[in-house]
Amino acid sequence: MKYTLQILFFLVALTSVVPVLSQNNVIDEIVWVVGDEAILKSEVEEYRKEILMQNQRIEGDPYCFIPEQLAVRKLFLDQAKLDSIEVQETAVNRQLEYLINEYIASSGSVERLEEYYGKSIAGIREDLREQIREQQLVEGVQQKHFGSIQLTPSEIRKYYNSLPQDSLPFIQTTMEVQIITVEPKIPLEEIDKVKARLREYTDEVNSGAREFSTLALLHSEDPSAMKGGELGFMSRSQLVPEFANVAFALNDPKKVSNVVESEYGFHIIQLIERRGDMANFRHILLKPRVPQESLDTALVRLDSIRNGIMEKKITFDEAATYLSFDKDTRNNKGIMVNNSQRSANAGTPRFALNELNQDIAKIAGEMQQGEISKPFIMLNDKGRQVAAMIRITARNEGHRANINNDYQIIKQMAENSRQQEMVDEWLLKKIEQTYVRIDPDWQGCELKYKGWLK
């Protein structure tokens, strides 16, 4: 909530006598004032709910930690105006839909999410939109002023030598894995059965006999079944091409698509709503049953390949390139890449054991570097059964980070530390130059930055 400075001083003088009404007409109060921006008690409560929803840690008393975090954000937003930082609305919308979908999944339903926040989904959406816009503005300022940290090797080594050994992160055992897969052949009659079932569902929806969401809940083999098949707002690039091409051609929410085949199985799709370049769909996914005979045949095929490798008639690299069915790895000699965005190993061939596919992890955990597994059946990341064989190309046992083996991790730590120092120095100057008032009832806090109380 924004005020001119003249009106703000008047309001501040009255806060001990006159309560402030929030947008929801709930009694509110101004707890901090930063420049010409007021921080309301309701804002603190909303921020606390956001932190809890995202499973983030609150350092100490939330009614001390949160107002200071909000005050810091307002200083960055003020700088964003001075720097003329802008954000792309498409990026805001993309992040908004991702968060809304995550929150609904975490809460269990839209109704529970609305109950938690005490407002409609439309109200939650608008609040989140503004928070995301502000966060992207803050990140724009940080990138402009503190985003180009480059330290020399001697500076990185000096930083490393200054750290107590027990403060260095423990690096989990990691391994690099090559994989070869063979997909079992699915009989045509099994595929025809799946397509026929999906066409029956389409007829039931078109005739009005059943709701698409009800059929998805009862029959779909996708995790979205629990939400009636609803995927949430996504862009075309977030969906596999075969699915996206058909889904984004839909214009009538009452219509159901033809049967679509993708690497996940067979789908029928229904449009819910379109917003610009994003859309929300429901779908029903069915996967053809793989006969045991087909799985056994795939295992025999892999066993033959393994024998050829052991007899040095072909290398593992060559077999992975020319014989593997795994399109994600065969152009990389079978080397798996860690695509987990939350992993410190993201984008590299390194995996902690708990970051590997569960079926692969069971086998890899007992293997040594250079060892080739026997063929086994696994459920791939598309939810389909395939025969697989792996080779451990590197295994690094768990240890405290050190500059010789973990230089990139130490380098990142050093750069993050220097960046935080620059941010802290900038904030202290900004606080010194900014009018700040904290309500007396909110002053008994140990704050991270000095100078708030003047």
Q: What is the pLDDT of residues 381-406, one digit of tens each?
A: 888 999 999 999 999 899 999 999 88
Query: In the chain, pLDDT over 90 holds for what percent of residues?
Result: 67
The two tokens of residue 425 are: 């120095």
Q: Is the pTM of this model over 0.75?
A: no
Of 286, 310, 341, the last residue of a domain is 286
pLDDT average, residue stretch 324-346: 89
- CA dihedral over 181, 186, 191, 194, signed as positive or negative: negative
Phi and psi torsions of 205, nearest 5°? -70, -45
pLDDT band for 54, please (50, 70, 90 cuts): confident
Contact of 292 with 302, CB cutoff 8 Å = no
Of 257, 286, 315, the last residue of a domain is 286
Residues 13-23: pLDDT tens digits?
A: 333 333 444 44
CA contacts within 13 A on the Cβ side of 39: 26
Residues 301 and 276 in one domain: no
The two tokens of residue 86 are: 């802008």
In a domain, 450, yes or no: no
Phi and psi based region of residue 60 (left: phi greater than 0; alpha: psi -120 to 50; beta: remaining): left
Phi and psi torsions of 208, nearest 5°? 85, 5
Residue 197's pLDDT is 97
**Rounded distance, CA 438 to CA 445, Å?**
11
Q: Of 85, 82, 72, 101, nearest to 133 (Cα)?
A: 85
Residues 34 and 126 in one domain: yes
Integer angstrom CA distances of residue 195 from 108, 189, 203, 258: 31, 10, 12, 10
Residue 51's pLDDT is 83
Residue 431's pLDDT is 95
The two tokens of residue 203 are: 């007829």
**Rounded distance, CA 30 to CA 19, Å?**
8
Residue 435's pLDDT is 94
Residues 34 and 135 in one domain: yes
pLDDT average, residue stretch 56-78: 90
Residue 356's contacts (CB-CB under 8 Å, 6 or more residues apart) are 177, 364
In a domain, 23, yes or no: yes
Residue 11's pLDDT is 35
Residues 425-438: pLDDT tens digits?
A: 999 999 999 999 99
- Model confidence at 294: pLDDT above 90: yes
Of 46-55, 174-183, 339-348, the range with the highest mean pLDDT is 174-183
User: Which of the two residues, 277 and 389, has the higher pLDDT score?
Assistant: 389
- Model confidence at 26: pLDDT above 60: no
- Model confidence at 68: pLDDT above 60: yes
Integer angstrom CA distances of residue 370 from 318, 355, 390, 393: 16, 20, 10, 5
Domain count, the chain: 3
Residue 27's pLDDT is 61
In a domain, 435, yes or no: yes
In a domain, 232, yes or no: yes
In a domain, 410, yes or no: no
The domain that holds 393 is classified in CATH as 3.10.50.40
**Rounded distance, CA 454 to CA 450, Å?**
10
- Model confidence at 7: pLDDT above 60: no
In a domain, 219, yes or no: yes
Contact of 319 with 329, CB cutoff 8 Å = no
Q: Of 134, 121, 128, 136, nearest to 273 (Cα)?
A: 121
**Rounded distance, CA 396 to CA 352, Å?**
10
Residue 2 DSSP one-character state: B
Q: Of 376, 373, 191, nearest to 295 (Cα)?
A: 376
Residues 142 and 47 in one domain: yes
In a domain, 164, yes or no: no
The domain that holds 119 is classified in CATH as 1.10.4030.10
Look up the domain containing 64 and give its range.
5-149+415-442
Of 95-99, 110-114, 291-295, the range with the highest mean pLDDT is 291-295
In a domain, 13, yes or no: yes
Residues 359-374: pLDDT tens digits?
A: 999 999 999 999 999 9
Residues 22 and 141 in one domain: yes
